[in-house]
Amino acid sequence: MLKGRTAVITGASRGIGRAIALKMAQNGANVAIIYVGNENAASEVCKQAESFGVKADYYQCDVASFSESQSICKKIVADFKTVDILVNNAGITRDNLMLMMSETDFDAVIGVNLKGAFNFTRHLSRYIMKSAAGRIINISSISGMMGNPGQANYSAAKAGLIGLTKTVAKEFAVKNVTCNVVAPGFIETDMTVALPQAVKEYAGTAIPLKRMGTADEVANAVVFLASDLSSYITGEVIRVDGGLCMNTH
């Protein structure tokens, strides 16, 4: 489905990003794995991706840094010669109630979750525009669509990603590049393992499908948007949330 194409996935050493990288590789895409801290995890994802017979490599990068992102993007292009698909997945949380949230925590989350997507899109866009099937997929969250107490920074960043996506979709359409959002709901990852039990119980009752989703289910939506099957879809938000916020939008 993606044979011969090159995909760059940020935040790909674990969780949803890892599942996306492996699903891309399984479908024939070469993958550039971006990570920030855990080199061993990134190396392991790289090895698993290569087992599908594709080219894979991993790169350490603080996606919030414009200059560092630029340097890494240049290295990726030098190594892979082309970039067809960009998945902006890197994300962090620094949860707190608005009245107690520090400026540092607000800036950090905006920097990684929103500015990081701007940085990689900005630095790779000229190469993606040269592709016959350029695709940009931004990983937002239902928190960016409906808000969430204690997540003013995270919700703002994820809502900002949706606005960024729609603008990029309009600007890049002339080059036949599509740009879409995947908005996960409650997904079983390292991040949700730490959720309070009360939140998990709420998820079990509030989600129409009565369960949390898996990283693979999010990755399936991303691969669809990266493939030729989605060639006439752009500027769209696809929720992977078990129906949780169908009544809010």
Does 202 qualify as catalytic in the annotation?
A: no
Integer-rounded Cα radius of gyration of the chain: 17
The 10s digit of each residue's pLDDT in 52-97 is 999 999 999 999 999 999 999 999 999 999 999 999 999 999 999 9
The pLDDT, as a whole number, for residue 191 is 66
Report residue 215 CA to chain centroid gap. 11
The 10s digit of each residue's pLDDT in 173-213 is 999 999 999 999 999 887 677 677 777 777 778 899 988 99
Candidates 35, 59, 127, 154; catalytic one: 154
E-only strand ranges, 10-119? 30-35, 56-60, 85-88
Report residue 5 CA to chain centroid gap. 18
The enclosing H or E element of 233 equals none
